[in-house]
Each structure stands twice: as C-alpha cells, then as structure tokens.
Amino acid sequence: MLETHIQKGWIWSSLTLKTLNQNFQFKGMFNKQAEQLQAEIRNDAEFLRNKRNAEKIKENLKPYIHEYQAYIQQNIYLSYRLSNLFRSDLSQRSKALVEQFNNLIQRDSSFAFDPPLQNLFEQLRQFIKLPIEANYAIDAKNKRFVESELKAFQKFFDQVENTPLTDEQRISSIIFEDRNLLVAAAGSGKTSTIVGKVGYALLTGLYKPEEILVLAFNKNAGDELTERINFRLKDILAQFNTRVEALNFHKFGVRVIGKATGKSPSVSNDAGKPQSLLNKIIQQLIETDPDFQAKYLLFKTAYLRPPLSPFAFKTQSEWEKAHRRSFDRFKDGYETYQGEIVKSHGEKAIANWLYSQGVPYKYEMSYEYDTANENYRQYKPDFYLPEINLYLEHYALDQHGRPPAHFGQKYLDDMKWKSGIHQQYKTDLITTTFHEFITGSIFKKLEQELKSRGQVFKPRSLPEINEKAKSIYEYDANELYASFLSHYKSNQANITSLLAKPSLSQREILFLQLFSKVYQRYDQLLKNSKEYDFDDLLIESAQLINENRYKSPFKLIIVDEFQDTSQARAWTATTLLDKFRLFFLHRREHYEWTT
C-alpha cells in the first residue's frame, strides 16, 4: 500500500509519501521537481508490484512448462489427434496465466525466465495459441523423430523385403497419425509398405500381433497379404507365437456378427455375385408383371444411358467436345437397333422405340420434294414413317420451347425453314423435344399422334430386342441392377425417399420403379432363407461395433485398396475410428501423405 500527495505553494511544494507503516515528507522542492519525484516513486512501485506478480506467475507456470516439455520430448511420433487433445487440455488450464505473463514481459523483458526456460515458455505459448497443423515445434519434433527412426531401423527396412524399401515406404511405415492415407501408383509397393508398417509396429512394441487388423478388398487379396506379412515377418512373429491375419471385409463382418450375437451368419451363395439371381428375378417379373415388362422395355430401348443435355454447357465448343465423347464406341454417333447412326440420345430413343413397337421408319431420308437452294441443301427430316406418310423432327428445346443459347439464331432459323417447307408442300409433320424426352412424355405423345393417323403397332418380342441389342454391343441393362443394388444397400437408401426427390429425370424415375420390384423379391428371398449378402454383413457388423456390442481387440487397422471401398466398407472402418488408428492405402499416380 503506497500513496503520494503533493501540497503546492506559489513556488515550493512538499511531497508526502504514505506507506503501510510510515509517512515520509519531502519539502523545499520546486513544483516541477515534486511532480517528477512523484512519477518516479509511482513507476518504481508499479515495477515492484509487477515483479512480485511475475515471480508468482512464473512459479505457477513452471508445472505447465515442464508438462509441455515432457510431452514434446517423448520418444514417439506425436500424432495430430493426440497433440490436439493435449493442447486443448493444457490450454484450458494454462491459457490465462500464459497471457498474463506474456503481457508482463512485453512491458518489461527483465521479468522473463532465464533463456532455456523462456524458450520453452515461448513454445508453450505458441502451442496453445496456434492450431496444431501450424505448430512448428510439433512438426520439428516429429521430423527429428522420423530421421532418428530411419537410422535406428535401417537394417530392418533394408532386409524386410527382397529389395530395400524406398524412403517413402520407410517414412510411411514410421508415421502413426490416427488416420493415415497413403496414395500410390499401381505396382509401386503398397504391399511392401504394409509389411514394413506391421513389422515396425511390432519391433517398437507399439502394437501386438493380435491388436493389428489388415482389411483387404476381397478374399484373394486377403490371402495374399496374410501369406506375405507372415512370411516376411516370421522371425519377429516367432517371438509372439502368433500370426497377423489379413481379412476381407466380409469375412471380418462374419466374425463380428458371430462374436457379438453368438451366432455365425449364413451367407448367401449369391453374395458378391448377385447378377445371376437378379437375372432370374427380372425374367420372372417380365413374365408375370405387365407393368414391369412395359417399363423394362421402355428403359432398355430409350433410357439405358443417361442422355447428355446440351443445356448443361455454356459454349458450343464445350458441347461439341462432350457430345463427341458420348458417342457409341468406335462410332460417329449413336447406333440404333435398326443399324443407323443417329446424332443424339433422343433420336436413338425414338428410333429404338419405333423399332420395338414394330413401326417402320426411315432415318434422314431425302424429303420427297426438291428443296435445295443457295442457302440450304436438300432437306432430310429426322424420321419418315412411310405407312402413314408422316415426318418427325426432334429438336433440342427446353420446356419453354427454347434451344440452348450457344446453338445461336441459326438453329431457330433452321426450325422455321423446315416448318415452312412442310407448310409449302402440305406434308404432315410432328415435332418432339429434348424436354419431352427427359420428362418421359415423348412416347405417350408419339403413340397418340401415330395411332390418330392410323399407324398399326406390331410390338416386337423382348428376346428379339435383346438379340438386336447384343448385335450392336449394347450395354446389358440387367447389369445396372446389380451395380445399383450394392450402392442402394451400402448407403441404406430408401426407394420412397429417392422417388420423392423433385429433381429426378424420367430415366431415374423409371429405373427406381423397376428396381423397387426387383429389390422386393431379392430381399424377400434373403429373408426367407435367413441369409446375408455381403452388404448385410457389413451394415450389421458396423451397427454392432457402433453399439459397443462387439469388443474389438484391434488397435491398428490397415485398409488396402481404399479407392475401391464402398460406403458400407467405409462405415465399418470408421466405426473403429474413435479408439484406434487407421492406415488407408489408395492407388493413384504418386505417394502423398495427408492427415
């Protein structure tokens, strides 16, 4: 407690200094001298208060500094997650003291610790202030650790495989973040990296063999990895009297379900290869369900491939490049069942629909009258139906009757010219649009227009259409069901929810309606036989892990061929993330580490 008071006269002043126990008075000073002395006394008093405060804070800070020092000097790789958790906890406990002390030493550096301790304080301050990924001290420590381990385990990395591991493979083996992604080219040594990582983990005592799980994409890959790991690491594993086993996801799912429920699941013979079963279901539906048969035929003939929209492009050059890339393989367009090469998905759909309905047509046959002039060549309408003497033009128009902006005025002028030709020669013309095609109204419109003119429909049989599709190497429509089945189950989707989406095209609606009936029968067959398919195994095992009904012994999980992982596989793996470390291997063009 210190107070100062100045009593001023005309020339002279007196200054009174009051302390806790005593008063002091200074007389005979000029006014300015008294003011200067008062300021100096106050500054000295503030300095002493700050010094005492700094000493007290320093004593309270030392445990936190030593705690940080102990963490940063551990002889392990400091993972992002572990560092972040430690940082969060330490920051919560020490942040106020760190800020107070930093403010004091900013005003007077003499309050700082001695150099070694002050350097650690600065590291601590940055550690709790900066995000982990921007923290130099952690990065520098990990870099030193990796360099040290590379030297310490050089002999192991030189000899574990037939050829010494590369620097990238060695670093990948040493780094243990909680989530690791290794991106590498095919044939560049991903399996060798797995062997190196497992061996390093065992040699350093980070993990025991029974705590390591290697997940492979399929059974063959799992068997190969199991053999390779245990052969290359046989001397290390001999000390543990056990093996490291690589499992495919489905085998792992069987084990999880068996352990958690006490009953090993029965797996369908069609699991993993459901195409044959789906083909039988589709054939049964075609034979017994007229609605399914009609929609199946429409999808196959008109909507097998997603139509390329000219409205999705801003420039004509972008559209033309994409358009050419979408052509049938080795064709300068799209091949129809009748063998013509047409210019758009819409034209192919119309041609195939006419063929499937037994309606004769000619594609781009010269118009019956001579129309060539100095501006236009001889007119060739898109389609001509000889039995009813009808012409059909298909235009790239939206719901407002407008073409893509990049088509320009010429497209509109050509439409007007064609319409004028038919008016001039009094020939019958109907038009269809891209919008009618993608919304599905096009075929009802065609059916009405043709029947009103007396066209006789002679629908062809599905076997006949299938033969035509094979003859032009058309994609097998049934394969789409098997592909979609896995995605549907893996994502735990729902048909009703999917169909409720407002942005669906006619192709998507049609397929979902067909798939719904196929899936109902497929799912019922599994339920009746009390069997699982592969997606069932993955989904249920992930649920059991998530509900803590499966007590996993694994602390290090390595996932091979991560780029091929389905949603169900990914979910199975990520349910283990909270407690364990994951190491993903992803095939690409180069090695790259991300966290």
Binding residues: 184-191
Query: Which stretch of DSSP H or E encloses residue 513?
Result: helix 506-529
The neighbour count for residue 492, using CB atoms within 10 Å, is 11
Q: Which residues are annotated as a binding site for ATP?
A: 184-191
Alpha-helical regions (H) of 130-212: 136-152, 154-159, 167-174, 190-203
Distance CA 279, CA 473 (A): 18
Distance CA 344, CA 363 (A): 13
Query: Which stretch of DSSP H or E encloses residue 5?
Result: strand 3-8
Cβ contacts of 432 within 8 Å, gap of 6 or more = 346, 350, 392, 393, 394, 395, 442, 445, 446
The neighbour count for residue 350, using CB atoms within 10 Å, is 26
Query: Which stretch of DSSP H or E encloses residue 337?
Result: none
One-character DSSP codes across 437-480: HHHTTHHHHHHHHHHHTTPPP-PPPHHHHHHHHHHTT---HHHH
How distant is the alpha carbon of residue 516 from its chain centre?
27
Least Cα distance to 72 among 11, 113, 128, 17 occurs for 128
One-character DSSP codes across 7-28: EE-SSEEEEEEE-SS-EEEEEE
Least Cα distance to 2 among 64, 57, 49 occurs for 49
The neighbour count for residue 310, using CB atoms within 10 Å, is 21
Phi, psi of 196 (to 5 degrees): -65, -40
* Apex 292 CA angle, 291 and 295, nearest 5: 85
Residue type at 399?
Q
How distant is the alpha carbon of residue 393 from its chain centre?
43
